[in-house]
Structure 1
Amino acid sequence: MIIASGDEGETWSAPVALTSNMKWHGSSCNVHYSHQHVHLAMDERRDLSIEGWNTAGLAPRVLRASMNDDLLDPKSWTISEAPAFNEIVSAGDLDHFGIPFYSTPTRAPAELGSGRLCAPMGWLEPNIVQFQDPAHLWHDPAGRTLHLFLRANTGGTGYAALVKVIEQADGRLVTTLETMPSGRRALFIPFPGGHLKFFVLYDDKSRLYWLLSSQATDSMVRLTHMSRARYNLPNNERHRLQLHFSKNCVDWCFAGLVAVGQTERHARNYPSMAVDGNDLLVLCRSADDEGRDPQYANLITFHRVKEFRNLVY
């Protein structure tokens, strides 16, 4: 669904469906503008036969429209072609990286402890990046390539998933894996906080990418020794929101902690951000003692990182 407002959100149009007979998942991820087009990415719920939390059956698809067209007209939008995660890889394809961290059935979660479930490996919540630096290995001088960095559900920490979307001569948007100079394809990439929902923003003034994500400090704890306040598995610390910057989206420099809950129950996660002059504005899903748990939180908190570019070193 899409809606529009001509008075800064005071009133809104009737909602318009951009697709039919399709199921979607979306989160507060970034929106990308390039060549007079707007791009956003959402997860199509492709394979619906997987039990429980289904990230294995999601397909990350980019929706693109010209800003000169009527964005309430479904014909203005092009939707990328994309495979679901389980159409690309299975757990048996991977070794030597410790991915996935836990073993699960292909189409159902594994209960690793009382009430602690590990879903089949997958991805979700893509952020769009277009590399502008001609020196970057993944820069496309024709401007037809977008990269999607996705939250990687592997049971572990420290990795995001990666695909690229290339505009074809006929206007179609086709998704494929990135290739390293060795010829090896890259599905996962080291990424601070890539195991939970994150937000990537490119700042024109600093010419840097900024990343808000959840900080993991204790993912190697045994299930039997976990704090009861920790949501689900050891990789689900949600109370420390960290900020990084990077010139290339691969090498990240730690800039600081934006928000920290008093306990693990006091979540500070699922962030969004925007630049306001010299400051960085941050919203995140938060919780206090009234929240059900760090996942099903009860607050939205606002944070301002003043003079955020001064954090660069």
Structure 2
Amino acid sequence: MGIMGQARPMAGGPFGTMQSMIRSTFPLRAVVAWSVLTAALGAATPAATESVGGPVRPLANPFVAVGESPDPATIPLYTPSLLRLPSGRLLAAYDRGGAAGRKGMANAVLLSSDDHGVTWTQRGAMAMTHGRLFQAGTNIYYLGQKGDLRVACSKDQGETWGEPVELTSGQQWHQSACNVWHTGGRVYLVMERRVSNTIRAWPVGELAPVLMRASEAADLTKRESWTFASELAFRDVVPGYEKNDMDLGWFGVPFFPMTYPAKSSVGGRRSMAPIGWLETNVVQVRDPDHVWYDPTGHTFHLFMRGHTGGTGYAAVAKVVENDDGTMTTQLEKMPSGKPVLFLPFPGGQMRFHICYDEKTRLYWLLSSQATDSMARPDRLPPERYDLPNNERHRLVLHFSRNLVDWCFAGVVAIGPSPKQSRHYASMDIDGDDLVILSRSGDSRAKSAHDGNLITFHRVRNFRDLVY
């Protein structure tokens, strides 16, 4: 048998057999080296058989139904807003649209939960839409619109609510339940005023995002407590907008032909309104190394849903506080001096929500994921709502240090079909968790846009998603 000697049966499997044979023919050092190698291989073998792939699993598909339409065909539910109080109480609000008013129902519904979102109690109802909840001082406010801006106040942690008070007169306002920014004892939020009535379609090109500022110690039901920034409508930003002759560079914007002031047919009985911006979040850049950082703390950046007909872009602007207390809205610029109107942004084509986490010093983004925006409109299935970029049933989470480079954190929830939406969500931080309130639907929903549910979701230990 040569140097190996006579072979004989040995216990221990293939590695045990080989090791015994080597001990009989090689020096001790070689045997030790082989033992180390086989130990390493043995430790690695189980890992090699484990699954290292597979689909991404939703972080929070299970939900609690906070609101349910009494008639999905005629009363859709909109504008979920969520606020976590220092006491741990959760407050929620949403709108009832469609025929709700004609059927004697107040639009806005306000609720509270004292068991981490498991059960909810209605605390109020009022005539208001596009409202959001926020705290200022010891008071809770709900600010939205009914044509003009309206605000209601609770002085007992959302148990009871006063009557809404109008902050403007004879104007048209718009928004969703986007974020609220607190700094320096002041509260900042954005509402959007329609500055003209020329567009004969979805009028997002005529919306001006208006940053509103107030002292947290003031009575925010009084108009004099608020300072409004200057107005900058989308139509006034882009040269050639009203002539349908815009020069927006090499980014394919608009995606479909634009026929201002009317909508344009894109095929399959689907159409596109003139491009614009809407549903504004307000943030500040906190990193001193960021090219947009303002060491004085008087610059606020507005991140908006970008209606371009395509996906992946958000609109952006900024507001600067002046020495006299006024605020000026303008476009931001890159270091080259070039103005920036759109930024690559995951889910920027739909309403999104930005939340800043002090512990991780990260911005968290809740947005909608598109999967087939390049489909021909005339080939979309009937249950798909509006344009190909208008998918609404996949809610996803990202994080970023700088508001430009976003890291995928996970899928929050997915509706069983494109009609069963999970979108237009608001979020807040509840200890180690993210709590989320989504505009949702099930098989009874009229469409992906007109859902019949408001659903509560919880992403546990969300900071563990950072990598």
Q: Check conservation: 1:160, 1:194, Cα contact below 8 A.
A: yes
**C-alpha displacement of 1:71:** 1.1
Partner AA of 2:217 in structure 1: N
Is 1:16 matched up with 2:165? yes
In structure 1, distance between residues paired with 2:269 and 2:225 = 45
Is 1:128 matched up with 2:278? no
CA offsets, 1:266-288, max 9 Å, x none? 10000100000000001110011
Task: From 417, 436, 445, give the equivalent of 1:263.
Answer: 417
Q: Check conservation: 1:123, 1:161, Cα contact below 8 A.
A: yes
In structure 1, distance between residues paired with 2:409 and 2:463 = 10
In structure 2, distance between residues paired with 1:35 and 1:184 = 31
In structure 2, distance between residues paired with 1:64 and 1:236 = 32
SS at match of 2:235: helix
Is 1:63 matched up with 2:212? yes
In structure 1, distance between residues paired with 2:281 and 2:325 = 21
SS at match of 2:209: strand
- Partner residue of 2:428? 274
Which has the higher mean CA deviation after the structures are superposed, 291-300 or 216-225? Answer: 216-225
- Partner residue of 1:74? 223
Partner AA of 1:253 in structure 2: C
Task: From 373, 376, 381, give the equivalent of 1:222.
Answer: 376
- As a proportion of its length, which structure holds more helix? 2
**C-alpha displacement of 1:115:** 3.2
**C-alpha displacement of 1:164:** 0.3
SS at match of 1:56: helix
Write out aligned runs for 1:229-268 (5 A).
Answer: 229-268=383-422
**C-alpha displacement of 1:119:** 0.6
TM-score in terms of structure 2 length: 0.66
SS at match of 1:4: strand
Q: Check conservation: 2:269, 2:378, Cα contact below 8 A.
A: no
Task: From 119, 136, 144, give the equivalent of 2:273.
Answer: 119
Task: From 363, 373, 376, give the equivalent of 1:209.
Answer: 363
SS at match of 2:204: coil
- Partner residue of 1:83? 232
Is 1:28 matched up with 2:182? no
Larger-Rg structure: 2
SS at match of 2:372: coil
- Partner residue of 1:296? 450
In structure 1, distance between residues paired with 2:269 and 2:437 = 30
CA offsets, 1:209-264, max 9 Å, x none? 00000001110011232122210110011000000000000000000000001111
- Partner residue of 2:197? 48
In structure 2, distance between residues paired with 1:258 and 1:307 = 13
Is 1:3 matched up with 2:152? yes
Task: From 286, 300, 306, give the equivalent of 2:440.
Answer: 286
Write out aligned runs for 1:182-201 (5 A).
Answer: 182-201=336-355
**C-alpha displacement of 1:93:** 2.1
Partner AA of 2:302 in structure 1: L
**C-alpha displacement of 1:48:** 1.4
Q: Check conservation: 1:115, 1:232, Cα contact below 8 A.
A: no
- Partner residue of 1:157? 311
**C-alpha displacement of 1:52:** 1.7
SS at match of 2:435: strand
Which has the higher mean CA deviation after the structures are superposed, 186-195 or 127-136? Answer: 127-136
SS at match of 1:310: helix
CA offsets, 1:129-186, max 9 Å, x none? 1111111111111010000000000000000000000001111110011110111100
- Partner residue of 2:322? 168
Q: Check conservation: 1:47, 1:84, Cα contact below 8 A.
A: no
SS at match of 1:75: helix
In structure 2, distance between residues paired with 1:104 and 1:144 = 37
Gaps of 5+ in 1: none
In structure 2, distance between residues paired with 1:82 and 1:103 = 27
Partner AA of 1:14 in structure 2: E
Q: Check conservation: 2:268, 2:379, Cα contact below 8 A.
A: no
**C-alpha displacement of 1:113:** 2.3
CA offsets, 1:42-96, max 9 Å, x none? 1101121211211000000011101121111110100010211001112512131
In structure 2, distance between residues paired with 1:27 and 1:114 = 29
SS at match of 1:103: coil
Runs of 4+ in 1 over 4 A off after TM superposition: none
Q: Check conservation: 1:223, 1:234, Cα contact below 8 A.
A: yes
- Partner residue of 1:102? 256
Which has the higher mean CA deviation after the structures are superposed, 42-51 or 256-265? Answer: 42-51
Which has the higher mean CA deviation after the structures are superposed, 55-64 or 227-236? Answer: 227-236
CA offsets, 1:187-210, max 9 Å, x none? 000000000000000000110000
**C-alpha displacement of 1:106:** 1.3
Partner AA of 1:178 in structure 2: E
- Partner residue of 1:179? 333
**C-alpha displacement of 1:114:** 3.7
CA offsets, 1:15-61, max 9 Å, x none? 11111222100201001101100011011011212112110000000
TM-score in terms of structure 1 length: 0.98
In structure 2, distance between residues paired with 1:10 and 1:123 = 35
**C-alpha displacement of 1:297:** 0.8
